[in-house]
Chains A and B, each alone.
Chain A
Amino acid sequence: MKNGRIAVPSNGEGGLGGTRSGHFGHCDVFTIVDVEEGKIKEVSTIKNQEHVQGGCMVPVNLLSQNHVNALVVGGIGMRPLMGFRQVGINVFHDDQRPEIEPVVMDLIAGKLAEIRNDQVCGGGGGQH
Protein backbone atom coordinates (compact mmCIF):
# COMPACT_ATOMS: atom_id res chain seq x y z
CA MET A 1 0.00 0.00 0.00
CA LYS A 2 1.46 3.32 -1.04
CA ASN A 3 -1.21 5.63 0.32
CA GLY A 4 -4.29 4.98 2.39
CA ARG A 5 -5.82 4.37 5.78
CA ILE A 6 -5.63 0.99 7.51
CA ALA A 7 -7.89 -0.15 10.37
CA VAL A 8 -7.06 -2.97 12.78
CA PRO A 9 -9.61 -4.21 15.36
CA SER A 10 -7.71 -3.83 18.63
CA ASN A 11 -7.81 -4.62 22.34
CA GLY A 12 -7.78 -1.96 25.04
CA GLU A 13 -6.39 1.37 23.95
CA GLY A 14 -5.00 0.04 20.67
CA GLY A 15 -2.07 1.72 18.96
CA LEU A 16 0.75 0.28 16.87
CA GLY A 17 2.29 -1.49 19.90
CA GLY A 18 -1.02 -3.01 20.95
CA THR A 19 -2.71 -6.31 20.28
CA ARG A 20 -5.37 -7.28 17.80
CA SER A 21 -8.87 -8.27 18.77
CA GLY A 22 -9.93 -11.65 17.46
CA HIS A 23 -13.55 -10.52 17.44
CA PHE A 24 -13.97 -7.85 14.83
CA GLY A 25 -17.37 -6.62 16.00
CA HIS A 26 -16.48 -6.76 19.70
CA CYS A 27 -13.13 -4.94 19.58
CA ASP A 28 -12.56 -2.05 22.00
CA VAL A 29 -11.10 0.30 19.42
CA PHE A 30 -9.90 0.32 15.85
CA THR A 31 -6.24 1.27 15.47
CA ILE A 32 -6.01 3.57 12.46
CA VAL A 33 -2.79 3.85 10.50
CA ASP A 34 -2.41 6.53 7.84
CA VAL A 35 0.08 5.62 5.14
CA GLU A 36 1.76 8.07 2.80
CA GLU A 37 4.27 7.07 0.13
CA GLY A 38 4.55 3.63 1.71
CA LYS A 39 5.41 4.98 5.16
CA ILE A 40 3.40 5.37 8.36
CA LYS A 41 2.44 9.00 8.71
CA GLU A 42 0.11 8.89 11.71
CA VAL A 43 -1.44 6.41 14.14
CA SER A 44 -4.74 7.09 15.88
CA THR A 45 -7.72 5.15 17.22
CA ILE A 46 -11.46 5.13 16.71
CA LYS A 47 -13.62 3.90 19.54
CA ASN A 48 -15.86 1.00 18.60
CA GLN A 49 -19.51 1.30 19.50
CA GLU A 50 -21.92 -0.97 21.29
CA HIS A 51 -22.28 -4.28 19.53
CA VAL A 52 -25.70 -5.81 19.15
CA GLN A 53 -26.93 -8.96 17.47
CA GLY A 54 -27.36 -8.30 13.77
CA GLY A 55 -25.62 -4.95 14.06
CA CYS A 56 -22.53 -5.89 12.08
CA MET A 57 -23.12 -3.17 9.53
CA VAL A 58 -22.59 -0.48 12.18
CA PRO A 59 -18.77 -0.87 12.24
CA VAL A 60 -18.82 -1.12 8.44
CA ASN A 61 -20.39 2.31 8.27
CA LEU A 62 -18.17 3.59 11.08
CA LEU A 63 -14.99 2.74 9.19
CA SER A 64 -16.44 3.94 5.90
CA GLN A 65 -17.37 7.29 7.49
CA ASN A 66 -13.79 7.56 8.70
CA HIS A 67 -12.35 7.01 5.22
CA VAL A 68 -10.70 3.66 5.90
CA ASN A 69 -9.41 1.86 2.79
CA ALA A 70 -8.17 -1.42 4.25
CA LEU A 71 -9.03 -3.60 7.24
CA VAL A 72 -6.98 -6.47 8.69
CA VAL A 73 -8.97 -9.18 10.46
CA GLY A 74 -8.34 -12.53 12.06
CA GLY A 75 -11.89 -13.56 11.26
CA ILE A 76 -15.07 -12.01 9.91
CA GLY A 77 -18.59 -13.13 9.02
CA MET A 78 -19.94 -13.18 5.49
CA ARG A 79 -22.34 -10.30 6.04
CA PRO A 80 -19.83 -7.72 7.30
CA LEU A 81 -17.36 -8.88 4.65
CA MET A 82 -19.93 -8.20 1.94
CA GLY A 83 -20.68 -4.87 3.61
CA PHE A 84 -17.03 -3.82 3.58
CA ARG A 85 -16.70 -4.79 -0.05
CA GLN A 86 -19.82 -2.80 -0.88
CA VAL A 87 -18.42 0.37 0.70
CA GLY A 88 -15.04 -0.15 -0.98
CA ILE A 89 -12.95 -1.28 2.01
CA ASN A 90 -10.53 -4.10 1.18
CA VAL A 91 -10.40 -6.78 3.88
CA PHE A 92 -7.09 -8.54 4.53
CA HIS A 93 -6.54 -11.67 6.57
CA ASP A 94 -4.03 -12.77 9.18
CA ASP A 95 -5.12 -15.21 11.84
CA GLN A 96 -1.68 -16.01 13.20
CA ARG A 97 -0.15 -12.94 14.80
CA PRO A 98 -1.76 -11.16 17.76
CA GLU A 99 0.38 -8.01 17.44
CA ILE A 100 -0.78 -5.01 15.42
CA GLU A 101 2.52 -3.68 14.09
CA PRO A 102 3.76 -6.71 12.10
CA VAL A 103 0.49 -7.15 10.21
CA VAL A 104 0.36 -3.43 9.43
CA MET A 105 3.92 -3.51 8.13
CA ASP A 106 3.15 -6.57 6.02
CA LEU A 107 0.06 -4.91 4.59
CA ILE A 108 2.04 -1.82 3.64
CA ALA A 109 4.69 -4.07 2.06
CA GLY A 110 2.01 -5.89 0.04
CA LYS A 111 2.58 -9.17 1.84
CA LEU A 112 -0.92 -9.72 3.22
CA ALA A 113 -3.61 -11.43 1.14
CA GLU A 114 -7.22 -10.31 0.93
CA ILE A 115 -9.61 -12.64 2.71
CA ARG A 116 -11.42 -15.13 0.49
CA ASN A 117 -15.10 -16.04 0.77
CA ASP A 118 -14.19 -19.53 1.97
CA GLN A 119 -12.21 -18.07 4.88
CA VAL A 120 -15.16 -16.32 6.50
CA CYS A 121 -16.23 -17.42 9.91
CA GLY A 122 -19.09 -16.68 12.27
CA GLY A 123 -19.94 -16.81 15.91
CA GLY A 124 -22.86 -14.99 17.43
CA GLY A 125 -24.39 -14.18 14.09
CA GLY A 126 -21.62 -12.38 12.32
CA GLN A 127 -19.90 -10.90 15.31
CA HIS A 128 -16.39 -11.72 14.19
Chain B
Amino acid sequence: MISILCVTPDKAWYMAVEGLFSGNSVKIQWSKSASSALSALNDQSFDLLITQEDLPDMAGSRFVESAIMISPMINCAVSSPLNQKKFHQAYEGLGVLMQLPVMPGRKEASDLIEKLSHIDVLQMGVKQGEYK
Protein backbone atom coordinates (compact mmCIF):
# COMPACT_ATOMS: atom_id res chain seq x y z
CA MET B 1 0.00 0.00 0.00
CA ILE B 2 1.43 3.37 -1.06
CA SER B 3 0.34 6.28 1.09
CA ILE B 4 0.14 9.62 -0.69
CA LEU B 5 -0.39 13.12 0.66
CA CYS B 6 -1.89 15.32 -2.06
CA VAL B 7 -1.58 19.07 -1.51
CA THR B 8 -3.80 21.47 -3.40
CA PRO B 9 -6.42 24.08 -2.56
CA ASP B 10 -8.42 22.88 -5.57
CA LYS B 11 -10.91 20.13 -4.78
CA ALA B 12 -11.46 19.29 -8.45
CA TRP B 13 -7.71 18.84 -8.96
CA TYR B 14 -7.51 16.61 -5.91
CA MET B 15 -10.43 14.50 -7.14
CA ALA B 16 -8.80 14.16 -10.54
CA VAL B 17 -5.50 13.05 -9.03
CA GLU B 18 -7.25 10.65 -6.69
CA GLY B 19 -8.99 9.14 -9.70
CA LEU B 20 -5.68 8.58 -11.47
CA PHE B 21 -4.54 6.22 -8.75
CA SER B 22 -7.76 4.25 -8.41
CA GLY B 23 -7.13 0.58 -8.98
CA ASN B 24 -3.61 0.82 -7.56
CA SER B 25 -2.78 -0.14 -4.01
CA VAL B 26 -2.88 3.47 -2.92
CA LYS B 27 -4.21 5.36 0.07
CA ILE B 28 -4.49 9.08 -0.64
CA GLN B 29 -5.09 11.96 1.76
CA TRP B 30 -5.87 15.58 0.90
CA SER B 31 -4.37 18.72 2.41
CA LYS B 32 -5.67 22.08 1.21
CA SER B 33 -2.62 24.11 2.17
CA ALA B 34 1.11 23.84 2.81
CA SER B 35 0.66 24.47 6.52
CA SER B 36 -1.94 21.73 6.93
CA ALA B 37 0.27 19.35 4.93
CA LEU B 38 3.27 20.11 7.14
CA SER B 39 1.12 19.36 10.20
CA ALA B 40 0.10 16.06 8.63
CA LEU B 41 3.76 15.21 7.92
CA ASN B 42 4.60 15.86 11.55
CA ASP B 43 1.93 13.41 12.66
CA GLN B 44 1.92 10.69 10.00
CA SER B 45 4.20 8.84 7.64
CA PHE B 46 3.68 9.04 3.86
CA ASP B 47 5.49 7.45 0.93
CA LEU B 48 4.77 10.17 -1.58
CA LEU B 49 3.90 13.85 -1.59
CA ILE B 50 2.10 15.20 -4.64
CA THR B 51 1.77 18.95 -4.63
CA GLN B 52 0.77 21.78 -6.87
CA GLU B 53 3.40 24.47 -7.20
CA ASP B 54 1.13 27.38 -6.35
CA LEU B 55 -0.21 26.90 -2.87
CA PRO B 56 -2.15 29.63 -1.08
CA ASP B 57 0.28 29.96 1.82
CA MET B 58 3.69 28.97 0.43
CA ALA B 59 5.60 28.62 -2.83
CA GLY B 60 6.06 25.03 -3.97
CA SER B 61 9.85 24.95 -3.60
CA ARG B 62 9.67 26.43 -0.11
CA PHE B 63 6.99 23.89 0.80
CA VAL B 64 9.02 20.92 -0.51
CA GLU B 65 12.07 22.15 1.40
CA SER B 66 9.99 22.44 4.60
CA ALA B 67 8.51 19.00 3.99
CA ILE B 68 11.90 17.28 3.61
CA MET B 69 13.16 19.02 6.75
CA ILE B 70 10.39 17.18 8.58
CA SER B 71 10.48 13.96 6.60
CA PRO B 72 13.56 13.58 4.34
CA MET B 73 12.60 10.04 3.37
CA ILE B 74 9.39 11.16 1.65
CA ASN B 75 9.42 11.27 -2.14
CA CYS B 76 7.95 14.32 -3.84
CA ALA B 77 6.24 15.02 -7.15
CA VAL B 78 5.44 18.60 -8.09
CA SER B 79 2.83 19.71 -10.57
CA SER B 80 4.38 22.75 -12.20
CA PRO B 81 4.09 24.79 -15.41
CA LEU B 82 7.81 25.64 -15.31
CA ASN B 83 10.02 24.47 -18.14
CA GLN B 84 12.67 21.87 -17.36
CA LYS B 85 15.48 24.40 -16.81
CA LYS B 86 13.48 26.68 -14.52
CA PHE B 87 12.08 23.72 -12.61
CA HIS B 88 15.59 22.41 -12.06
CA GLN B 89 16.73 25.82 -10.80
CA ALA B 90 13.77 26.13 -8.45
CA TYR B 91 13.97 22.63 -6.99
CA GLU B 92 17.65 21.68 -7.21
CA GLY B 93 18.93 19.86 -4.17
CA LEU B 94 15.46 18.94 -2.98
CA GLY B 95 15.51 15.47 -4.53
CA VAL B 96 12.19 15.76 -6.35
CA LEU B 97 11.20 12.43 -7.85
CA MET B 98 9.24 13.80 -10.78
CA GLN B 99 7.84 16.98 -12.26
CA LEU B 100 4.19 16.59 -13.19
CA PRO B 101 2.30 18.67 -15.74
CA VAL B 102 -0.33 21.15 -14.57
CA MET B 103 -2.97 18.48 -15.04
CA PRO B 104 -1.39 15.03 -14.72
CA GLY B 105 -2.89 12.14 -16.64
CA ARG B 106 -2.85 8.34 -16.42
CA LYS B 107 0.59 8.10 -18.04
CA GLU B 108 2.20 10.43 -15.50
CA ALA B 109 0.51 8.56 -12.65
CA SER B 110 1.81 5.29 -14.02
CA ASP B 111 5.33 6.73 -14.49
CA LEU B 112 5.28 8.05 -10.96
CA ILE B 113 4.36 4.70 -9.45
CA GLU B 114 7.03 3.04 -11.58
CA LYS B 115 9.74 5.47 -10.40
CA LEU B 116 8.66 4.99 -6.81
CA SER B 117 8.77 1.22 -7.21
CA HIS B 118 12.25 1.41 -8.74
CA ILE B 119 13.54 3.34 -5.76
CA ASP B 120 11.90 0.76 -3.48
CA VAL B 121 13.80 -1.98 -5.34
CA LEU B 122 17.09 -0.12 -4.85
CA GLN B 123 16.31 0.41 -1.16
CA MET B 124 15.48 -3.27 -0.82
CA GLY B 125 18.88 -4.13 -2.33
CA VAL B 126 20.54 -1.96 0.30
CA LYS B 127 18.57 -3.60 3.08
CA GLN B 128 19.46 -7.05 1.81
CA GLY B 129 23.15 -6.13 1.75
CA GLU B 130 23.67 -6.30 -2.00
CA TYR B 131 26.00 -3.29 -1.89
CA LYS B 132 28.75 -4.19 0.54
Contacts and interface: CB of A to CB of B under 8 A. Distances in A.
B93 A49 contact: no
Nearest to A49: B131
B131 A46 contact: yes
A57 B72 contact: yes
A54 B68 contact: no
Interface stretch (B13-21, B29-37, B95-103): B95-103
B132 A53 contact: no
Interface in B85-132: 88, 91-98, 115, 118-119, 122-123, 125-127, 129-132
Q: How large is the interface on B (under 10, 10 to 19, 20 to 34, 35 or more residues)?
A: 20 to 34
B84 to A, nearest CB: 11
B72 A79 contact: yes
B92 A122 contact: yes
Interface centre among A50, A58, A123, A124 (most CB of B within 10 A): A58
A54 B131 contact: no
A80 B127 contact: no
Contacts of B68: 78-79, 82
B7 interface: no
A128 B125 contact: no
Contact of A78 (B65, B98, B131): B65
B93 A54 contact: no
A50 to B, nearest CB: 6
Interface residues of A, number: 33
A69 B104 CA distance: 41
A49 to B, nearest CB: 5
Contacts of B115: 52-54
Nearest to A65: B126
Nearest to B69: A82
B94 A61 contact: no
Nearest to A55: B119
Contacts of B93: 77-79, 120-123, 125-126, 128
Contact of B94 (A50, A86, A125): A125
Contacts of B129: 65
Given A77-B92, A125-B94, 15 more contacts: A50-B122, A53-B115, A54-B96, A54-B97, A54-B119, A55-B122, A57-B123, A58-B119, A62-B131, A77-B93, A78-B93, A80-B95, A82-B68, A121-B92, A123-B93
